[in-house]
Structure 1
Amino acid sequence: MTSPTHSNDAYPYLRAASAGVRHHTRALAPSDTGPPRPTDRLHLDVLHAHLTFVHQLLDRLAETTRPPHPAAGRRLASAHTHLWQAASEVHAAFHLLPNSTVADGEASACRPDRLPEGPPVLTICQRHLASGHVVRRKTTPTDLRAHTTACAR
């Protein structure tokens, strides 16, 4: 009998999510049918959600790995910080994209209640601020230097 970590059906949802990201990446590649479509706010919102969920997964993996394997736990914690930095940059890019439904002065402001899609249960700004609180509790200020959770755009 094989162990679950070597089985072909171990972690099926994580593999499915990875396959979805690979498919999307290939779909965005330039093709003969024309130039790729530029990124929009909805695209970055979905990407930010994905990064945030992977960030949470890394946090849990680091917590469970650290006691029996400290060096591996530290590496996972480092990946956790880097992924937060990536999510932070995606959030910043979201606010830099044009918004056709709002005047230019309001488009860059971080106002979750005024997003063009309406105030969903969890907007990109709310999600980013919530994950930022978790990061600040578990990460040193030096690790987070230049990466804030405030929406000052």
Structure 2
Amino acid sequence: MTKPHNPPGDAHPYLRAATAGVRHHARAAAGSEAPADRVHLDVLHSHLTGLHLLVDRLADTTRPPHPAAGRHLASAHLRLWQAATSIHDAFHTLPAGERNSSDTACRPDRLPEGPPVLTICQRQLASGHAIRRKTTPADHGPRPARTA
């Protein structure tokens, strides 16, 4: 008995749907004159950090059998972190909005993950930790004695 052949487009339906959503949003935003707001940047940051984790895992599993491809994925991993860092910085430079509005008010009691400003920072810290773990050499063992 053989496995049915799945076309390449059906291999990752959730990833394809996310890509289609980003493309649709980019086309819709192209005709808009409205500047980005904090909610928009928060969602975009979430998408970038999700991609960051995915590329990190792909780089780890691809590197042993295909070192050159793994290095390219590791570079993409770093650049996704840089993009997420820029989005995080832009988020914090935008005004927070009206404090009295029920739509924009921070209601930590209604958000189990905490206020949005902390959520984006938590994601940024987690992705920063992951990139440092991959790119910073670890100190394994005692340092050699210095000679005078």
Give the TM-score range, shorter chain.
Answer: 0.7 to 0.9
Separation (CA, whole Å) in 2 of partners of 1:72 and 1:3: 25
Change (3 A) 1:132 1:118: farther
TM value normalised by structure 2: 0.76
Report the CA distance shift for 1:77/1:36 in structure 2 as closer, same or farther (over 3 A).
Answer: same
Equivalent in the alignment of 1:99: 96
Q: In structure 2, what is the Cα distance between the partners aligned to 1:25 and 1:117? A: 27
Once the two structures are aligned, what percentage of the paired residues are identical? 64
Moved >4 Å (runs of 4+): 1-4
Aligned to 1:83: 80
Matched residue pairs, number? 124
TM-score (norm 1): 0.73
Counterpart residue identity of residue 101, structure 1: E
Separation (CA, whole Å) in 1 of partners of 2:4 and 2:68: 27
Q: Aligned ranges for residues 134-149 of structure 1 at < 5 Å? A: 134-140=130-136
- CA distance in 2 between partners of 1:8 and 1:126 (Å): 33
Once the 2 structures are TM-superposed, how far is the Cα of residue 127 of structure 1 from its aligned partner?
1.0
- Shift, 1:70, TM fit: 0.3
**How big is the shift at 1:47?**
0.2
Name which one, 1 or 2, has greater alpha-carbon Rg. 2
More helix per residue: 2
In the alignment, is residue 72 of structure 1 matched against residue 73 of structure 2?
A: no
Match of 1:117 among 101, 106, 115: 106
Q: Which runs of 5+ in 1 are unaligned?
A: 103-114, 142-153
Deviation at 1:53, TM superposition (A): 0.3
In structure 2, runs of 5+ residues without a counterpart are: 138-148
User: By how many angstroms is 1:46 displaced?
Assistant: 0.3
CA RMSD of aligned residues (A): 2.1
